[in-house]
Amino acid sequence: MPDPQQAFETLPKAPSRDAGAALIAACGVERRDPVRQAILLHPTDFILREGDRAVITGPSGSGKSVFLRTLALLDPVDAGRILWRGEPIARSRVPAYRRRVAYIAQRPAMLDGSVEDNLRYPFGLKVYRDLRFDRASVARLAAAASRGEDFLDKRASDLSGGEAQIAALIRVLQLAPDVLLLDEPTASLDPDSAREIEALVAAWSANETARARIWISHDPAQARRVGDRQLTMVAGTLTEAPSQEGTP
């Protein structure tokens, strides 16, 4: 398997900052079902700092995806607010925020056409107008996930669920975000492919140590591999396990 770290050498670099600074802060955020008004996410305070590798486990339907979508500003909050680097996010700045904070859904949407067409799509958006698509760079990312360059030419409609997840991850990683919000990115993959995705995300983190991520997983073994902040969501309530740092 190619060294995943090498796949990031030619991608854009984010400005260097002090490690450990707060990236995303959720301040008392709450979500309710818009029809039934049932609580989906109880008032939650949470800070994601530079370099964090957080993982959230919990039962299906407990609010994990609701929380990630809230952090990504994909759904409106019913109470509280989200801060980016300590500042409120004006409506006009939401596209710029989403450039820095990338959400990858469990079942990613793919456009008609080839994988390459899907990878090229973001570069037509105003927020990415300063970037250019680089086929060689994304081919290296694909190779790091054990996919040949011909993967870029496959029809999106012919992809398996796992292949679509790989394409969606590459589509995001090529844009060099500061934060990844990963909603069970390996749920559709066999164990070997899942490890390849884990390695690819780990290489993305290692390439810029200030980058942070939140990973949702139902696999306890994977949760231990991919995260050093262990959180649990149960019935819309987020709790964090005590740090094991310094434990013998």
Token readout for 83 is: 């801060």
How do the domains of the chain map onto residue ranges?
A: 4-240
Token readout for 193 is: 């492919």
Cβ–Cβ under 8 Å, residues 205 and 178: no
Q: Tokens 């037509």 identify what position? A: 124
pLDDT tens across 87-127, in order?
999 999 999 999 999 999 888 889 999 999 999 999 999 99
- The pLDDT of residue 188 is 73
| Residues across the chain | 248
Token readout for 202 is: 């780990």
List the chain residues with pLDDT less than 70: 1-19, 243-248
- The pLDDT of residue 248 is 40
Question: E strands along 142-221, which residues?
Answer: 179-183, 212-216
Q: In the chain, what is the greatest distance between 2 CA atoms, to the nearest angstrom? A: 53
pTM of the model: 0.87
- The pLDDT of residue 244 is 59
- The pLDDT of residue 242 is 83
CATH class of 4-240: alpha beta
Cβ–Cβ under 8 Å, residues 154 and 118: no
Q: Please tell me what DSSP assigns to residue 146.
A: T
